[in-house]
Amino acid sequence: MIRGVIFDLGSTLIRFDGDWPQVMTESQRILIEQLHQEGFVLDREAFAEDFRRELEAYHLERDQQFVEITTGFLLRKVMARFGYPSVDDEIVRRAMSCMYAVSEARWHPMEGVHAMLEEMRGLGYRLGLISNAGDAENVQRLIDKAELRDYFDPILISASVGLRKPNPALFELVLEQWQLPAKQVVMVGDMLGADILGGQNAGLRQIWLTAEADNPANRAHAGTISPEAVAATLAEVPALIRRMGRTEPRRETHA
């Protein structure tokens, strides 16, 4: 029997319609402009390059250690190197909000997401959400923009917890809150290395959404991480979960 379903957010429930390199460049330009308006005197080109390198190093580290360091923390590190070792929390919050506004404008609900979630809720499943992200407020705004909040309890964001999928501890937090065994819960997500492997390591059932099948991170895991079920669209998810409820979980073991 399946009693609970955990969803990923990005490229699972919402989709991105922009060009990431362009969005990142514009985001950093807006960030620096906001800091300038706050009164900080910065070499804009040098600051942008330093912050870009810091982000790249962070992206590599987080995917190896499965821990989350917030983007705000990285901004503070760079600000300190440019002569501002103590920056007010509210200034950092405003700067992050301005930076992420660029990408937030390009995220939209996946086709059929609300109909699928209504069906799942009507069938009595408990619904939770786990998102890997460097800024919790960014994710909260995306959830509200897509009108998804009322469907999920709990909502876990790696920036708030300090851990990233596939760390099984994130999934276990949901199981503990729901008081459900892992075999009665399904993980639905688009990333093999985060969502599917994480679900497997925590003992959950899994459905891989193939919207990001061509993502280099997914191609790297092709043939080594095998999801229990595969869906091309969200509309397929309820039937797959009902089918899982009638079958025993497949055994997966990963070092």
Q: Residues 40, 23, 35, CA angle at the centre, nearest 5°?
A: 10
159-181 burial, b at 16+ Cβ within 10 Å, e below that, comes to bbbebbbbbbebbebbbeebebe
**Among candidates 154, 155, 153, 151, which has minimal Cα distance to 117?**
151
**Average confidence (pLDDT) over 200-212:** 95
**pLDDT of 253:** 43
Beta carbons within 8 Å of 14's beta carbon, 6+ residues apart: 107, 108, 109, 110, 113, 142, 146, 148
Give the pLDDT confidence of 100-143 residue by residue, as tens digits. Answer: 999 999 999 999 999 999 999 999 999 999 999 999 999 999 99
**Average confidence (pLDDT) over 28-41:** 97
Q: Residues 119, 122, 125, CA angle at the centre, nearest 5°?
A: 95
**Can you tell me the distance from the alpha carbon of 182 to that of 192, in angstroms, rounded to the nearest whole number?**
18
* pLDDT over 80 (residue 164): yes
Which region among 157-161, 195-199, 209-213 has the lowest average model confidence (pLDDT)?
209-213
**Can you tell me the distance from the alpha carbon of 77 to that of 16, in angstroms, rounded to the nearest whole number?**
29
Q: What percent of the chain has pLDDT over 70?
A: 98
Mean of per-residue pLDDT scores for the chain: 94
Q: In the structure encoding, which two tokens stand for residue 138, read together?
A: 């960014």
**Can you tell me the distance from the alpha carbon of 253 to that of 58, in angstroms, rounded to the nearest whole number?**
29
